[in-house]
Structure 1
Amino acid sequence: MKLSGVLFFPATPFDSRGEVDVAVLRAHVAAGLEHGPGGVFAACGTGELNALAEGEQALVVRETVAAADGAVPVVAGAGGALGTALAHTRAAAEAGADAVLLLPPYLALGSAEGLHAYVSAVAEVGLPVVLYQRGPLVLEPADAVGLTRIPGVVGFKDGLGDIDRMQRTVLAVRAAHGPDEITFFNGLPTAELTQPAYRAIGVHLYSSAAFCFVPEVATAYRDALETGSELAGTLLSEFYGPLVELRSSVPGYAVALVKAGLRLRGVEAGKVRAPFVEPTAAHLSELARIIDRGLAAVRAGS
């Protein structure tokens, strides 16, 4: 599975009854595809995997695969208890997904041997697996090498932001496998803010939650970063920096602001599910100003 460009992490829309809104989901994915992402990651962090029942995860992945229609790879979120992670992965395989992004087990990480068994069981389903280091899951480089040696493990996504640890991990894994065998991702919330640092250690792929609601800004930023354009710095100061400050003000805003941004731009994505909370009126106003500044910067720089 080869990935490039901006990676699209769709939100999971909910209707007025709190159920997955399939029609809005299809339209949301189709609209994102018009901006040329390199891959679609369905029912992952931005897609509220934490709040989806197994049947809902299967539905979201199935509908995303159908909407993508082979245009780009589709990676499905999986995780939680081993039985749940296996159910997620089997559903993704049945839906025709290309891989799974495996989130850490909740509250029960166990030993390195236990984690190896967990990842191995998921990989045995047969879909390629991208590991997600985040939250309480903090791997030493040697542990990362061991996990990436499991047949079927093809990627490593970092959601910690410890550049020293990540540099050592990249070096160790590439020494063990070669330079191209394992794909590395920057998986921090609003990853654009830290991507210059990740590029410096050889990690060129990153998650873009912003692509959900401002694909114009997300694609312009990536192009500017690749070409060395001054627009990259402008977008960091005018859009991404302020967005991160707002995101950091309330736990769970990394997802809640994405859905709010979609609503501000005319997509009826519904509200987030508990334990996330909706942005306050003041924060919604600030988000609208940030979006306007980002779009204005893109127009001025084009």
Structure 2
Amino acid sequence: MTPIEFHGILFFPVTPFDDAGRVDLDVLAAHVGSRLPFAPGGVFPACGTGEIHALSVAEARSVVRTTVDVVRASERPGTPVVAGAGGSLGTALELARAAQDEGADALLILPPYLVQGPMAGTVTYVEAIAAASDLPVIVYHRGGARFTADAMVQLAANPKVIGFKDGTGDVGLAQEIALAVRATGRGDFQFFNGLLTAELTQGAYRGLGMPLYSSAAFAMAPEIALVHYRAYSEGDEEARLAALDAFYRPLVRLRDQTPGFGVSLIKAGLRLSGLPVGSVRPPLVDPSPAQLDELQRILEAGAAHVARVGGPTP
């Protein structure tokens, strides 16, 4: 199996819907294509930001296929495409096979639906999905899939398990897992910060030995996201904290007003920019008019910060 390496900010595209509520693949292609010039380290379609919880297998398949087609036809055809797979075991297995059929490079294994079994059962869930296709998998540690260090050591013995993404915020456990997996000698294993608006916590996660992070903000405002990433990757703490203060801290305050706004605000920001990505699907809800006004102010403040510091261009 050829190792997959991620270098750069990780892009989680939204799934656009048209006025009739159908997946809009043309808008998706435009959305993905417009972000590739900013050189994301990987593209993760049909995952959390892409509302995988609300997609059918057929819809997820079309989202992955469109994303793969756009990436392969771009000037960065080697950018890894990682598709989501999770929920009920039957659905997860179908999603895994569909992702392989459509040319994805890897899978992000999301938590099982509703139930939470013992650790041995959760490990078996991951192993079953890993066995369903030829694709390597990244384990997402959150919700009903919370792993111990021993469980991750067991999973790391499988060469198809190539990464661990933390979405719980338990930094002590995350540190324990990172140390335990590294002790196995898996030099190809990669660690990700998968918390909402991960930029706000990535300084701490880098200290844990988890240098990669998800960025839903990149989907909405790549210039702002890359100002933070540039400061982060260069070790410029003053510039990184300035980006957090100018944009991410107020965004998180707005995000925390309503459950699900980690996704809803990203789609709303894209609509404010002129890309017709549509609304979110239930059970998520769209921002109120007052919240949209606040989001607009936050985006304007972020753009002003980019102008002050000299933001990156594609």
**Normalised by the shorter chain, which TM-score bucket?**
over 0.9
Residue matched to 2:208:
201
Matched, 1:78 2:81: no
Distance in 2, matches of 1:177 and 1:56, equals 39
Question: What secondary structure, in the 3-state scheme, does the structure 1 residue paired with 2:282 have?
Answer: coil
Residue matched to 1:52:
55
Question: What secondary structure, in the 3-state scheme, does the structure 1 residue paired with 2:16 have?
Answer: coil
Alignment of structure 1 residues 1-302 onto 2, 5 Å: 1-69=4-72, 70-124=77-131, 125-178=133-186, 180-229=187-236, 230-302=238-310
Q: Please, what TM-score do these two structures have when normalized by structure 1?
A: 0.97
* Farther-moved stretch of structure 1 (100-109 vs 187-196): 100-109
Amino acid of the residue matched to residue 41 of structure 2?
G
Deviation at 1:116, TM superposition (A): 2.1
Amino acid of the residue matched to residue 7 of structure 2?
S
Structure 1's unaligned 5+ residue stretches are none
Deviation at 1:147, TM superposition (A): 2.0
Amino acid of the residue matched to residue 277 of structure 1?
V
Query: Contact between 1:231 and 1:298, CA under 8 Å: does it hold in 2?
Result: no
Amino acid of the residue matched to residue 241 of structure 1?
R
Question: What secondary structure, in the 3-state scheme, does the structure 2 residue paired with 1:19 have?
Answer: coil
Deviation at 1:71, TM superposition (A): 3.6
Distance in 2, matches of 1:271 and 1:133, equals 28
Please give the root-mean-square deviation of Cα atoms over the aligned residues, in Å: 1.0
* Farther-moved stretch of structure 1 (228-237 vs 195-204): 228-237
Deviation at 1:262, TM superposition (A): 0.3
Q: 1:24-76: per-residue Cα shift (whole Å, max 9, x none)?
A: 00000000101111110000000000000010000000000000012401000
Deviation at 1:218, TM superposition (A): 0.7
Deviation at 1:145, TM superposition (A): 1.2
Distance in 2, matches of 1:177 and 1:189, equals 30
Deviation at 1:238, TM superposition (A): 1.2
Amino acid of the residue matched to residue 286 of structure 1?
E
Question: What secondary structure, in the 3-state scheme, does the structure 1 residue paired with 2:184 have?
Answer: helix
Query: Contact between 2:122 and 2:145, CA under 8 Å: does it hold in 1?
Result: no
Question: What secondary structure, in the 3-state scheme, does the structure 1 residue paired with 2:163 have?
Answer: strand
Query: Contact between 1:40 and 1:74, CA under 8 Å: does it hold in 2?
Result: yes
Deviation at 1:115, TM superposition (A): 1.8
Deviation at 1:98, TM superposition (A): 0.2
Query: Contact between 2:42 and 2:79, CA under 8 Å: does it hold in 1?
Result: yes
Deviation at 1:187, TM superposition (A): 0.2
* Farther-moved stretch of structure 1 (15-24 vs 228-237): 228-237
Query: Contact between 1:8 and 1:208, CA under 8 Å: does it hold in 2?
Result: yes
Distance in 2, matches of 1:196 and 1:37, equals 19
Question: What secondary structure, in the 3-state scheme, does the structure 2 residue paired with 1:27 have?
Answer: helix
Query: Contact between 1:217 and 1:298, CA under 8 Å: does it hold in 2?
Result: yes
Query: Contact between 1:123 and 1:151, CA under 8 Å: does it hold in 2?
Result: no
Question: What secondary structure, in the 3-state scheme, does the structure 1 residue paired with 2:230 have?
Answer: helix
Distance in 1, matches of 2:306 and 2:31, equals 22
Query: Contact between 2:162 and 2:190, CA under 8 Å: does it hold in 1?
Result: yes
Deviation at 1:142, TM superposition (A): 1.1
Deviation at 1:138, TM superposition (A): 2.1
Query: Contact between 1:128 and 1:153, CA under 8 Å: does it hold in 2?
Result: yes
Deviation at 1:136, TM superposition (A): 3.2
Query: Contact between 1:13 and 1:24, CA under 8 Å: does it hold in 2?
Result: yes
Query: Identity of counterpart residues, as a percentage?
Result: 51
Distance in 1, matches of 2:215 and 2:223, equals 12
Deviation at 1:112, TM superposition (A): 2.1
Distance in 2, matches of 1:126 and 1:197, equals 34
Question: What secondary structure, in the 3-state scheme, does the structure 2 residue paired with 1:42 have?
Answer: coil
Structure 2's unaligned 5+ residue stretches are none
Distance in 1, matches of 2:185 and 2:281, equals 40
Distance in 1, matches of 2:143 and 2:200, equals 19
